[in-house]
A and B are shown apart, each in its own frame.
Chain A
Amino acid sequence: METADIPDTGAPILKVRGLWKVFGENPERLLISDLKNESKEKIQEETGLVVGLRDISFEVQKGEIFVLMGLSGSGKSTLIRNLIRLVNPTAGEIYISGKEICALDDKELMEFRRRSTAMVFQAFGLLPHYTVLENAAYGLKIRGMPLEKRMKIAQEAVETVGLQGWEEYLPSSLSGGMQQRVGLARALAADPDIMLLDEPFSGLDPLIRREMQDELIQLQSELHKTMIFVTHDLQEALKIADRIAIMQDGQIIQIGTPEEIISEPGSDYVQEFVRDAYPATVLTAGTIMEDNEPEIHVWQGPKVVHTLIHRSKRDFAFILDKRNCPVGFLTHRALEKLIREGEGGIDQAMDTEFETCTPDMTVEELFPLATASPHPIAVLGDTGKLVGYIRNHTIIESMIQEESENGGEDADV
């Protein structure tokens, strides 16, 4: 799966357990009453309290981009603010790098925010009277780092986000995209354990947004930061996420890799969300391939092969060598012709020209292969072994979002 390139260090860097946020007066009273499992509307009617977050639990591994996705009002922004207590949770536990955040007093919390996290905001939140460079150095300034040192680090961060030459400008003279780069530089300069990004690109126009996403991905491939990324844009989530948590009405209703979310929408809500997505960029060969059953080897006789193919209700077969690597492609027709003429092994009748791919290639990347050859595409594992195949029409079908048969209630979290 996608998690392969996430360094597994054992303990999660962020752990949230049973987090609740209830707005209103004396909100604790809801949590001890039976009403707490009722719907948001009913709770508000009966008690006047508004449920912001309901029993949220999840974990984030080091180096992972974890996306919180949901519509406005789903609680995603509240959740990310709860993590560093810009909004104080009503109940629950938050551990970041093993530290219990809810137990920190004001001073410890301040120190924690200075060292461990850095946030990027939709509205940028830059200091308008500071230059680009000073803004980038702001997190370090708060820490009390000496001027020269912090400016040096800030300079590097400014260059990382591609703003060299703009150091001495005020934010007001920069475009929105560039201002958000300053916001990114400010967070990067602080070198936090976790970066929190609250809809960082939502305020930008689509072209700039895509560019920024690409650059974030590029950055991540070099820096391997842990990021919590909030967005309402599924495309964006699918593009940058290692894992996605889908939120609705203050709850997380599904967590999974982009692929899992796309291929198995956990509820109607997700399904609706997913319908708009363009799965070609997300679905991989590994997900849509069919297993190569039964395996047919090059030394097997034509009649045996014919029976095997016939039984499997297919009209073709990939022919494997000793190491289970495909050496040729055999159609049913070529096989029958071979049997009729009665001479030679199946290696005489098979076609050695066929396309191959790896399981992690996206459907988008498969298109050119599918048009290059009439045969199905062989999916090869690490050592060149055949792990499956993809028929051309499967690729097309995967693009059409069908009503999922498991689109029921049970969102598996």
Chain B
Amino acid sequence: MFEFPEKLYIPVEKWIDVVMEWILVNTVVFFDAIGGALLKTLVIMDKVLLWIPWPVVLVIVAVAAWRTMGKWWHGVAMAGLIFLIGILGFWDHAMTTLAIVFASVVVSLIIGFPLGILMARSDRFQTFFRPVLDGMQTMPSFVYLIPAMMLFGLGKVPAVFATVIYAVPPIIRLTDVGIRGVPESVVEAAKSFGASDRQLLFDVQLPLAFPSIMVGVNQTTMMALAMVVIASMIGARGLGLEVLKAINRIEIGHGFTAGLSIVFLAIVIDRITNAFATKQQKHLSL
């Protein structure tokens, strides 16, 4: 009786498809070039991480955790979690996942950092860009898999692409927040001494925004990890693929241990980056 009138239907989905098709046909060279470069980096990173002997990885994690978190037993605990991943039989998968996460975070920072700075400097850009960021974070992450797949096919590269779209908002937001949060008195003082925009940015705003930016890096990393698991659906190997396999074969044990490995990886990355951010914050507090 009160059905929505079909007459009002607008075929937005068709339009998007048309646009996407046009992009595919006309920018194939561009995306292929990007994809090629990205793939090469990913393969190298994957190889490097798998080449590093596992005890060395443990030592690196232990030292990083100890230095940032403060207590020696923090280092032992974090290295222990990574060690558990190996015991569960997912060492190589975890390293592959880590490689994709790293690559995604690096790309996210390269894109997100300048956008964050831009957002902090221009109110107009901020007003325009905020809802875009909201949208990027609210959209079900699976949706990003479709264009990623169309542009780059299957494999690691589309996984990184989809992951970046999903994981880039926090670094943009927190760079913006960090720079805008620099006390006005300090900014005014720098200006009064004749600081140029560049000097203001590099000597004052970025150093003071650094703790906030580090929180952004932490969040971006965590979101990247979450997305890399989902991106296994379009061919990213690693821990996510193991979970996916377990679903398909209804292997509860395999699924659970793979899932646990993801949790351990997440805890270690989160604690270390978070502790680093907090440390910077304390260092700068007035």
A residues neighboring B (CB under 8 Å): 84, 86, 110-115, 117-119, 121, 123-129, 138-139, 141-143, 171-172, 186, 190, 196
Contacts and interface: CB of A to CB of B under 8 A. Distances in A.
Contacts of B193: 113-114, 118-119, 138-139, 142, 186, 190
8 contacts: A86-B188, A86-B191, A112-B194, A118-B192, A121-B189, A129-B208, A143-B194, A186-B193
A111 B183 CA distance: 24
Contacts of B185: 121, 123-125
A139 B186 CA distance: 13
Contacts of A118: 192-193
Given A123-B183, A123-B185, A172 B286 contact: yes
B285 interface: yes
A113 B190 CA distance: 10
Contact of B192 (A117, A126, A127, A128): A117
B196 A121 contact: no
B205 to A, nearest CB: 11
Contacts of B195: 110, 142
Contacts of B203: 127, 138, 141-142
Interface of B: 183, 185-186, 188-196, 199, 203-204, 207-208, 283-286
Contacts of A128: 186, 208, 284-286
A127 B182 CA distance: 10
A142 B192 CA distance: 11
A115 B189 CA distance: 15
A118 B190 CA distance: 10
B194 A125 contact: no
Contacts of A172: 285-286
A133 to B, nearest CB: 15
B208 to A, nearest CB: 7
Name which of A113, A126, A128, A171 has the most chain B CB atoms within 10 A of its CB. A128
Given A128-B208, A171-B286, A172-B286, A111 B189 contact: no
A119 to B, nearest CB: 4
Given A110-B194, A172-B285, A172-B286, A125 B189 contact: yes
B189 A126 contact: yes
Given A86-B188, A123-B183, A125-B186, A142 B284 contact: no
B105 to A, nearest CB: 25
